[in-house]
Amino acid sequence: MNDTTSPNSTPNSTSGRHGEQAGAKTGAQSAKASYRDAGVDYASLDAGKRLAMAKALSTSPMLAAHGACALDASRGEPAFVFELEGRAFAFVLEGLGTKSVIARQVHERHGSNRFADVAYDTVAAIVNDLCCAGALPLVVNAYFATGSSDWYREPERAQALLEGWRRGCTDAGCAWGGGESPTLPGLVAEGDIELAGAAVGMVPPGARPILGQELRAGDEILLVSSSGLHANGASLARVVAARLPDGYATRLASGAELGEALLEPSLLYAPLVAAILQAGLHPSYVSHVTGHGLLKLMRPPRELTYRVEALPRVPEVLELLVAEAGLDPRAAYSTFNMGAGLALYCDPQRSAAIAALAAELGYECMRAGRVEQGPRRVILEPLGVSFDGRELELSAR
C-alpha cells in the first residue's frame, strides 16, 4: 500500500456529497489516518509473503511421489493449483481479519447480532479467492478461534455464526467439511473470535485453470460491484469509528448506521464464475479486489498496463471512511475496494455476454477498461491516478 499524497490527485466521489455531510455532522477529522496507522503495513506483509512463497516453491517436487504435479504458475495467485490424475484442483486458506471485532463491538454497544454476516463474509473471502483460479469449491472447512470458551455461552450469537457459515457454503454450492475451534487465551483477546478457513476446489471438466498466462493486450476489464467493505480495511474502519462522536451509530446519507453498513455481507462470486465457465466464456484472468484495493488489477507478474476508463459507484460507507480518514484518491483506491469486488479480464468479443450473464444473476457489472502493452501499472483515468508495478509485488518468481 502507498499512503503518500499524489500531487496529481483530483477530487472524486469519495469527497462528494456524503463526505460533505459527514464533515458537517461530525466535524473535520483532527488528523489523517492510514492503514499503516491502523497497524497494517503491506510493505512488510508482502515481503514476508514473497519469502514464504520462495520457500514453498522448493517443496513442489514432493507432489510427484503421489502422482500429482504442482502448477507453479499459481504461486502468488489467490489459490494454489495442482493436477492429480488428469484433473486440476485448487486449495486456499483465508481469514476474515478484524471485521469480527466490529461485529462484537456493534453487538455489545447496540445489541445487533451480525455474527451470521461475518461468518458469511469469511466463506465469501475463501471461496472468492478459490474461484479466481477457475476452480469451483468442493469443501470448505472452518477455523473459529476464541479468546475464551465463554464465547459460546451466548447461544444466539453462536447459532448465528454457525448458520451464517452454513448459508455461505450453501450459496457457494459446496459442503462444509468440518474445522477447528481452539480457545487461545493470551493470543486472541477475551470476547473476540478469529474467523478463517480453508477450501478445496476443482476446475470443471472442459475448463482450465485461470492463472493469467492467457492474459494479453487488447483484453477488456470488467468490474463487478462490491456490497461495501467486504473483508479488508476493517482495522482502519475501527479507527475511524472510534474517532466519531456517535461511533458506530453515526448516520450515513441514507439514514443507515455506520456499524450496520460496515457489516453488510460480502458478495459471493462463485455462482457468477461457475456460470461463466459453464457458458464457455472462459476469462483470461480473474482478480478478487481485497487488500491493496485496485492495485490488485495488476496482480499478474506481467509487463502490461491496465487502463481503467470508468469506475463503479462508491458505496456510501466507504465514502464516509475515506472522508473521515482524510485519504486522497491514491490512498483510498489502494486501501479499500471502492465499489469493485471482482475484476474479470476477457476477449472483447466475450465481454458483453459476460456482463449480461452477471446482470441475470443479480450482479452489477460494468465494462471498465482494457489491458494494453506497456509497463506494469494501473491507470485510473477518472481520478488522474496511476499505480506503478513496484507498488504490488506478490510473486516470488
Mind listing the pLDDT tens digit for each residue in 114-158?
999 999 999 999 999 999 999 999 999 999 999 999 999 999 999
Q: From CA 168, how far away is CA 122, in angstroms rounded? A: 8
For residues 311 and 383, is the Cβ–Cβ distance under 8 A? Answer: yes
Identify the pLDDT of residue 28: 40
The single residue listed with the C-alpha cell 468479443 is 349
Q: What is the pLDDT of residues 330-360, one digit of tens each?
A: 999 999 999 999 999 999 999 999 999 999 9
Note the Cα 39 to chain centre separation in Å. 18
Alpha-helical segments (H) within the chain = 17-26, 42-57, 99-110, 115-132, 155-172, 234-243, 258-262, 270-278, 316-325, 329-332, 348-360
* Closest by CA position to 288, among listed 221, 343, 231, 237: 343
Position 42 scores a pLDDT of 53
Give me the mean pLDDT over the 97-116 stretch.
97
Cα(220)–Cα(310) distance, rounded to whole angstroms? 12
Q: How confident is the model at residue 393 (pLDDT cuts 50, 70, 90)?
A: confident
pLDDT at 29: 42
Whether residue 200 contacts residue 139, with contact meaning beta carbons closer than 8 Å, is answered with yes
Q: How much is the pLDDT for 26?
A: 42
CB 102 within 8 A of CB 261: no
Place 256 in a pLDDT band, splitting at 50, 70 and 90. Answer: very high
Per-residue pLDDT tens for 210-250?
A: 999 999 999 999 999 999 999 999 999 999 999 999 999 99
Report the DSSP beta bridge partners of residue 180. 143
Average pLDDT of the segment spanning 270-291: 97
**Domains located in the chain, CATH noted:** 13-54+68-391 (3.90.650.10)
Gyration radius of the chain over CA positions = 20
Q: Is 223 helix (H, G, I), strand (E, B) or coil?
A: strand
Q: Which residues contact 53 (CB under 8 A, 6 or more apart)?
A: 75, 76, 395, 396
- 365-373 and 285-288 strand pairing: unpaired
Q: Which of 224, 267, 266, 228 is nearest to 358 (CA)?
A: 224
Ramachandran angles phi, psi of 170, nearest 5°: -60, -45
Average pLDDT, the chain: 89
Mean per-residue pLDDT for 288-309? 95
pLDDT of residue 179: 97
